[in-house]
């Protein structure tokens, strides 16, 4: 045999082994790269899941806040019309007199179609019976803005409050009572 052929055969043998080693190295590097990419994708998936969970909790909190604000605004954004004061106007003592009742909108929105009526009566004290109130049909209908007041004059008829009644009121056995009603529209404009 020729020594040159032995050398070529050895070279071919070494070349095949080097190619096999290179292929195994490429396979190992490719496998490692794929494994690292899979780990990165899994980490990204966990982070995305956590971000979605945080977003869902934030959306739930925002929804709860909006619901609470809606309930609060419904409670706060109302017209609240009540009697603010009532006082006797005119001279003290027996005889006909006038009382002035002030009603006020304590709410934060206007009171639409606000109507009111009242009556003033003289009764024994304490009074346990509520008089039947009837609308006359001429009651005012108005829009009462927030913090606005309207005064309602009431007159105790002549002959109702004489010396005897004045003395009874002073002694506390009788009293002048004011009964009335305030109505407002439930609609919101």
Indicate the domain borders of the chain. Answer: 1-76, 81-183
Instruction: Report whether 90 contacts 140 (CB < 8 A).
Output: no
> φ, ψ for residue 14 (rounded to 5)?
-65, -40
The CA distance from 63 to 79, in Å, is: 27
- Domain 81-183 CATH class label: mainly beta
> What's the farthest any 2 CA atoms get from each other in the chain?
158
Task: Kindly state the average pLDDT of the residues 129-140.
Answer: 79
CA dihedral 72, 76, 82, 85 (to 10 degrees): 120
For residue 181 the two structure tokens come to 């009603």
Range name among 65-69, 79-83, 91-95, 103-107 with the lowest pLDDT average: 91-95
Average pLDDT (112-136) is: 82
Q: Are 99 and 154 in contact (CB under 8 A)?
A: yes
- For the whole prediction, is pTM greater than 0.75? no
pLDDT of res. 78 = 79
pLDDT digits (tens, 9 = 90+) for 70-97: 887 766 677 888 888 888 887 777 777 7
| N-term to C-term CA, the chain | 113
Lowest mean pLDDT among 3-7, 11-15, 27-31: 3-7
Residues 49-65 have a mean pLDDT of 92
pLDDT for residue 189: 47
Four-CA torsion 121, 125, 131, 136, nearest 10 degrees:
20
**Between residues 43 and 179, which one has the greater pLDDT?**
43
Which pLDDT belongs to residue 75? 67
């Amino acid at each position: 045999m020729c020594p040159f052929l032995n050398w070529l055969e050895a070279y071919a043998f070494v070349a095949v082994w080097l190619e096999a080693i290179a292929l195994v190295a490429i396979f190992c590097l490719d496998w490692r790269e794929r494994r690292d990419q899979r780990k990165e994708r899994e980490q990204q998936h966990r982070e995305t899941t956590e971000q979605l969970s945080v977003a869902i909790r934030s959306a739930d909190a925002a929804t709860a806040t909006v619901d609470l604000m809606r309930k609060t605004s419904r409670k706060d954004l109302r017209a609240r019309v009540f009697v603010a004061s009532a006082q006797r106007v005119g001279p003290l003592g027996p005889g006909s007199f006038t009382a002035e009742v002030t009603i006020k909108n304590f709410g934060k929105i206007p009171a639409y179609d606000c109507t009111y009526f009242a009556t003033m009566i003289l009764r024994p004290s304490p009074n346990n019976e509520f008089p039947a109130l009837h609308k006359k049909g001429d009651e005012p209908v108005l829009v009462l803005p927030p913090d606005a007041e309207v005064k309602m004059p009431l007159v105790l008829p002549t002959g109702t409050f004489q010396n005897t009644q004045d003395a009874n009121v002073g002694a506390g056995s009788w009293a002048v009572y004011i009964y009335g009603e305030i109505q407002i529209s439930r609609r919101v404009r």
